Structure 1
């Protein structure tokens, strides 16, 4: 299948990747995405959690959410994800950059009506956000399932863009006595903090390794 023209970058094309391994690895590491769409010529852009399972990503939201009710109609959406790995500090401010991994995809929402698949989607998302927690938590109630919408989006029209490495200084700048290099950025899960109702409850095993 040929690549749609809107997935072909106008700049830094060498950083673009269309292979599943690159796209899936970024989606599996990222916890949140931003979903953009247009209603009555007004732009909207909503951040939300998501999970990838096989060749689709899944989100959830309240059945009363304006955002969910609009995109479940099947209007076109653009979904973006970005992971930042380092600030790239060059010898010139104009040459500063960022080492990043990103995914952009174009799709339309598929509303999940099958209760079994809907429950699976909630489990996949829960396990991604807090691994090992699904079987520990109170089970969902049927009322909670009915009040929540699950939507799936195909990854057929997705691409990744990745920047790595040191600054790309201009040749005449490389000998300047100005420091250049990388400032690594890291996102880590810190030690859990109990709320007042859990002060006397032992930290569960699935959280003890954080």
Structure 2
């Protein structure tokens, strides 16, 4: 989905520190979300902040989160969701100018608990496909009992910000004469060799990503 529509501009989404790194359109937001598998869900529970790693999935302009129906964190009236990709460590000639290359997205909003059965399945499918593309069509679908034990939240992508940094270090002019290595150490994430379940029947091949 590509809209090229501008991202929302609110007090919470305005980038104050290094605003030149802020993203400007929704395609950038979608790309960051679609490239990730783990988000951090920020909520206030009993007056205290709580940040939890959570699986998610995107379907159009909606972000879906899931968890146990007993999870207090999924009952919050307002939440903040962040997704971050670390692309490189930026080593400068001075300690002060060390940095990171990254892509990040922050979404604020009031989620709603999904109760419609068809949307709930669609939300769970989005989460499963985000983590393991193609798996929804090969694994067993959830039973009615499993669905009853699972909560799905829908968060609209109405209020979001994007911030990225790419490129080499930016040292002070006088430091370029120092005999100190400077540059970028790229950071990549990759999958290892699949490890079969000890109870897997012989002859079933791995069919994942």
TM above 0.5: yes
1:8 lines up with 2:14 in the alignment: yes
Where in structure 1 do 4 or more consecutive aligned residues deviate above 4 Å? none
Task: Give yes or no for contact 2:57–2:129 (8 Å, CA) kept in 1.
Answer: no
How many residues were matched structurally?
Answer: 203
Indicate the residue corresponding to 2:161 in structure 1. Answer: 159
Separation in structure 1 between the aligned mates of residue 156 and residue 19 of structure 2, nearest angstrom? 23
Among 39, 49, 55, which residue is 1:43 paired with? 49
Task: Give yes or no for contact 2:45–2:73 (8 Å, CA) kept in 1.
Answer: no
Among 142, 152, 156, which residue is 1:150 paired with? 152
Separation in structure 2 between the aligned mates of residue 15 and residue 175 of structure 1, nearest angstrom? 28
Separation in structure 2 between the aligned mates of residue 118 and residue 98 of structure 1, nearest angstrom? 37
Shift of 1:39: 2.9
Residue 173 of structure 1 aligns to a residue whose secondary structure is helix
Among 52, 58, 61, which residue is 1:55 paired with? 61
Shift of 1:143: 0.8
Indicate the residue corresponding to 1:203 in structure 2. Answer: 205
What's the TM-score, normalizing by structure 1?
Answer: 0.92
* 5+ residue gaps, structure 2: 1-5
Indicate the residue corresponding to 1:109 in structure 2. Answer: 111
Task: Give yes or no for contact 2:43–2:73 (8 Å, CA) kept in 1.
Answer: no
The Cα offsets for residues 177-210 of structure 1, whole Å up to 9 and x where unpaired, read as 1110010101012221012101624223x33xx5
1:65 lines up with 2:67 in the alignment: no
The Cα offsets for residues 65-105 of structure 1, whole Å up to 9 and x where unpaired, read as 1222x22xxx2211111000000000011110000000011
Indicate the residue corresponding to 1:138 in structure 2. Answer: 140
Separation in structure 1 between the aligned mates of residue 59 and residue 175 of structure 2, nearest angstrom? 46
Residue 171 of structure 2 aligns to a residue whose secondary structure is coil
Residue 103 of structure 1 aligns to a residue whose secondary structure is strand
1:169 lines up with 2:171 in the alignment: yes
CA RMSD of aligned residues (A): 1.5
